[in-house]
């Protein structure tokens, strides 16, 4: 596992966007070889999407041969509701870039058969060749996608009832009225994200500091589902200073001492990112 610590959320967004750009470009995708990205919604990745749009407009990256799979979607929220993840992704990212809409996959929380929808989502990921890079965020309770505390660490895409902490955290998007927050969502499982070739998790803010501590300093625990990624070969966590507040000084010092290596990971031109997973 790598922990990249940046001074603030803006620099986290920039590092993440540069990394996604580099991964896409290094893979040199084309009509016979798409790059497959897993994507999150929420306030944390918003800055990364802004930066990716900027890099696309500057000609630094293209999404023409990129397929995307989003992590989750609310159940029974109309697709054009401003808090639906369809709306979020279209307005904050997809409509500004050159992705072919048919390659941008989001679970349909209004599907007549939700179980079948989840099953076919897994099949679509498989048919795309699996996910090359899954980008994720977490909740203050350590959930990844909507894999609430207690979720199976080998879970796959399914219908999930949201935890009280998540309803409270998301009420801010629904006029601070918790009654308006959908109670269920479709979500990829921890196992779905674990199956990606690489996982990049963005964590910012002091309200997520305890979750980051649980994610990296304690053992794998299904009550903090993000901790499962300790057992993934290629996990990158990108966080800001505020999110490190509950970590031990020696943990922070260890990863900060690697900051030169982390800078090289987004600037190295010799297309051998793989080496950064061999030499820590």
The two tokens of residue 215 are 């994610």
To ligand PGA, the closest distance from the beta carbon of 173 in angstroms equals 8
Which residue in 93, 116, 38 sits closest to 70, CA to CA?
Answer: 38
Question: Which of 141, 198, 240, 241 is labelled catalytic?
Answer: 141
Please give the C-alpha separations between residue 156 and each of 56, 145, 151, in angstroms, as whole numbers. 32, 11, 10
72 carries an active-site annotation = yes
The total number of residues written for the chain in this structure = 280
Residue nearest to ligand PGA (CB): 42
To ligand PGA, the closest distance from the beta carbon of 43 in angstroms equals 4
Q: Which is nearer to ligand PGA, 5 or 48 (CB)?
A: 48
143 carries an active-site annotation = yes
260 carries an active-site annotation = no
To ligand PGA, the closest distance from the beta carbon of 59 in angstroms equals 29
Question: Which of 14, 72, 122, 198 is labelled catalytic?
Answer: 72
Residues 60, 17: contact at Cβ < 8 Å? no
26 carries an active-site annotation = no
Q: Which is nearer to ligand PGA, 91 or 259 (CB)?
A: 91
To ligand PGA, the closest distance from the beta carbon of 172 in angstroms equals 9
Question: Which of 117, 132, 143, 240 is labelled catalytic?
Answer: 143
Cβ-Cβ contacts under 8 Å for 79 (sequence gap 6 or more): 86, 87, 108, 110
Give the interface with ligand PGA as residue ranges (CB under 6 A).
42-44, 137-139
Question: Which of 73, 122, 132, 148 is labelled catalytic?
Answer: 148
Find the DSSP H helices in 148-233: 164-170, 190-194, 209-216
Beta strands in the chain (DSSP E): 2-6, 35-39, 66-70, 72-74, 104-105, 133-137, 158-161, 184-187, 199-203, 235-240
What is Dmax (Cα atoms) for the chain?
Answer: 52
Supply the residues annotated as catalytic: 72, 141, 143, 148
């Amino acid at each position: 596992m790598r922990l990249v610590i940046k001074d603030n959320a803006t620099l986290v967004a920039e590092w993440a966007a540069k990394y996604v750009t580099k991964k896409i470009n290094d893979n040199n995708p084309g009509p016979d070889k798409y790059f497959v990205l897993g994507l999150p919604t929420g306030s944390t990745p918003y800055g990364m999407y802004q930066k990716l749009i900027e890099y696309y407009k500057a000609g630094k990256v293209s999404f023409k041969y990129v397929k995307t799979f989003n992590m989750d979607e609310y159940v029974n929220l109309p697709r054009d509701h401003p808090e639906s993840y369809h709306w979020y992704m279209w307005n904050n990212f997809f409509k500004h870039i050159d992705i072919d809409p048919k390659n941008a996959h989001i679970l349909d929380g209004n599907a007549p058969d939700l179980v079948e929808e989840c099953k076919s989502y897994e099949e679509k990921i498989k048919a795309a060749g699996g996910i090359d890079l899954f980008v994720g965020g977490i909740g203050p309770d350590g959930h990844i996608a909507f894999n609430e505390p207690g979720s199976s660490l080998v879970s796959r895409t399914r219908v999930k009832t949201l935890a009280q902490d998540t309803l409270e955290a998301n009420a801010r998007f629904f006029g601070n009225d918790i009654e308006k927050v959908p109670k269920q969502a479709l979500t990829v499982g921890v196992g779905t994200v674990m199956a990606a070739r690489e996982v990049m998790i963005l964590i910012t803010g002091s309200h997520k500091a305890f979750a980051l501590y649980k994610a990296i300093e304690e053992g794998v625990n299904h009550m903090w589902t993000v901790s499962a990624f300790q057992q993934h070969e290629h996990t990158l966590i990108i966080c800001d200073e505020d999110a490190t507040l509950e970590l031990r000084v020696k943990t922070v010092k260890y990863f900060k001492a690697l900051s030169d290596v982390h800078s090289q990971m987004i600037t190295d031109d010799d297309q051998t990112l793989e080496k950064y997973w061999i030499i820590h």
